[in-house]
């Protein structure tokens, strides 16, 4: 009986440790000044080109190939009045998006990291 209680205490302890680690990880991600966007080269250019009209969350939730990102940016210019992005920024942004927000969605936001 007392053995069972000890065992349960041990499991609760492990669970608390895992929860603590997960929380620390989530906090680390949110410290970025670029909100949900993965912090890597090109993030700053992308962030400031894109958040004038909508949250960066709309970008983080997408997963597209480079060609599809290029098409989407054309659509953003034609249909939504985004000022055309000049080189070298365009390449920087497409590199950034197709590396971190490609079809495999490596940085898809997890529910507990989403902003309200
Ligand atoms: C001039 C305003 C403007 C700028 C700047 C802008 N967008 Fe948008 N974007 C919009 C509008 C308007 C929508 C449609 C929003 C909606 O459906 O709620 C949209 C929607 C989107 C969507 C969602 C598309 C879908 O299929 O639902 C993505 C992804 C996106 N934008 C990415 C970007 C990226 C990346 C940039 C920066 C390179 C950017 N946007 C810059 C206006 C803009």
| CATH number of 92's domain | 1.10.760.10
The structural domain count of the chain equals 2
Measure the CA–CA gap between 85 and 48, rounded to whole angstroms: 11
Which residues contact ligand 1 via a Cβ below 6 A?
Answer: 49-50, 52-54, 58-59, 62, 72-73, 76, 80-82, 93
Query: Ligand 1 centroid vs 42 CA: distance in angstroms?
Result: 18
Alpha-carbon dihedral angle through residues 92, 96, 102, 105, given to the nearest 10 degrees = -160
| Domain limits for position 77 | 34-113
Measure the CA–CA gap between 94 and 102, rounded to whole angstroms: 10
> Which pLDDT band holds residue 6 (cuts at 50, 70, 90)?
low
Residue 43 and residue 25 in one domain: no
Query: pTM above the 0.85 mark?
Result: no
Residue 86 and residue 54 in one domain: yes
Measure the CA–CA gap between 58 and 12, rounded to whole angstroms: 37
Query: Ligand 1 centroid vs 64 CA: distance in angstroms?
Result: 14
Q: What is the pLDDT of residues 77-98, one digit of tens each?
A: 999 999 999 999 999 999 999 9
Q: Taking the chain, what is the end-to-end CA distance rounded to the nearest angstrom?
A: 45
């Amino acid at each position: 009986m007392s053995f069972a209680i000890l065992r349960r205490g041990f499991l609760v302890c492990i669970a608390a440790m895992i929860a603590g680690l997960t929380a620390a990880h989530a906090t680390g991600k949110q410290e970025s000044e670029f909100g949900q966007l993965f912090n890597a080269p090109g993030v700053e250019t992308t962030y400031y080109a894109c958040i004038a009209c909508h949250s960066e969350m709309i970008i983080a939730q997408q997963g597209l190939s480079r060609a599809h990102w290029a098409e989407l940016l054309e659509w953003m210019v034609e249909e939504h009045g985004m000022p055309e992005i000049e080189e070298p920024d365009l390449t920087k942004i497409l590199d950034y998006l197709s590396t971190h927000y490609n079809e495999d969605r490596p940085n898809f936001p997890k529910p507990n990291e989403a902003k309200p």
